[in-house]
Chains A and B, each alone.
Chain A
Amino acid sequence: LAKTTQPISMDSYEGQEVNITCSHNNIATNDYITWYQQFPSQGPRFIIQGYKTKVTNEVASLFIPADRKSSTLSLPRVSLSDTAVYYCLVGDTGRRALTFGSGTRLQVQP
């Protein structure tokens, strides 16, 4: 699986847009980029997945440049409830195991 690098922590305020960037220089052709969210004492929760360009759902947007060596998770107008750890995962859809890194701890302040 491709190694990923993301900031350890980020701070934001309610109502702001938050962008979390993940670097994955060694991404392979078959690899997808997936983001999960984890609240304290809960299991990770799937947020969004993409292969290239832009993907948007009701929760977030995922921007992937043409070289796919990085990706940006965008959370519009965050609220206090978005305080969580966000994980960027990169891998072949044929692989079953998810490999979590340390993630980005997002703290949203009022």
Chain B
Amino acid sequence: EPEVTQTPSHQVTQMGQEVILRCVPISNHLYFYWYRQILGQKVEFLVSFYNNEISEKSEIFDDQFSVERPDGSNFTLKIRSTKLEDSAMYFCASSGARGSYEQYFGPGTRLTVT
């Protein structure tokens, strides 16, 4: 069964550093998403991406965040200058059919900012 993959599984970085989280969505999917989950809290939507542009973003997704689909397979989330409060599990997801509510989530990247 096709699956979304994410690398790395765990990233430790110092406050103020830039990090790039990588995702490989399911190959024929067209919609891509990033979510995050702070330990013990809800899963929060960050951004959705379609047709090489952001289609929706939340208040969390400020100027420190950016997304990119640099080639036909990868989808990245960059945090320019990490803060302690960025420590969370970051999930990438993808979906195929327009209007489908079924999103396929990756295993996540645990980001620890020290």
A-side residues, CB < 8 A to B, are 32, 34, 38, 41-46, 49, 87, 89, 91, 93-103
Contacts and interface: CB of A to CB of B under 8 A. Distances in A.
B82 interface: no
Contact of A34 (B45, B58, B101, B104): B101
Nearest to B9: A41
Q: Is the interface of B mostly helix, strand, loop or mixed?
A: strand
Contact of B89 (A34, A41, A93): A41
- What are the 8 A-B residue pairs with the smallest beta carbon separation, nearest first? A43-B105, A93-B99, A100-B43, A97-B45, A96-B48, A43-B91, A46-B102, A34-B101
A45 B107 CA distance: 10
A91 B43 CA distance: 16
Contacts of A103: 42
Given A32-B101, A96-B31, A97-B58, A44 B42 contact: no
Contacts of A96: 31, 33, 48, 50, 55-56
A49 B99 CA distance: 12
A97 B45 CA distance: 6
B56 A97 contact: yes
Given A41-B89, A94-B99, A46 B104 contact: yes
B25 interface: no
**Size category, B interface:** 20 to 34
Interface of B: 4, 31, 33, 35, 42-45, 48, 50, 55-56, 58, 89, 91, 93, 99-108, 110
Dominant SS among interface residues on chain A: loop
Contacts of B93: 43
Given A44-B91, A46-B102, 15 more contacts: A32-B101, A38-B43, A42-B107, A43-B4, A43-B105, A44-B105, A46-B103, A49-B101, A89-B101, A93-B100, A93-B101, A95-B56, A96-B31, A97-B56, A100-B43
Nearest to B99: A93
B42 A102 contact: yes
20 contacts: A32-B101, A34-B102, A41-B89, A41-B108, A42-B105, A43-B91, A43-B93, A43-B105, A46-B102, A46-B103, A46-B104, A89-B101, A93-B100, A95-B56, A97-B45, A97-B48, A98-B43, A100-B42, A100-B44, A102-B42
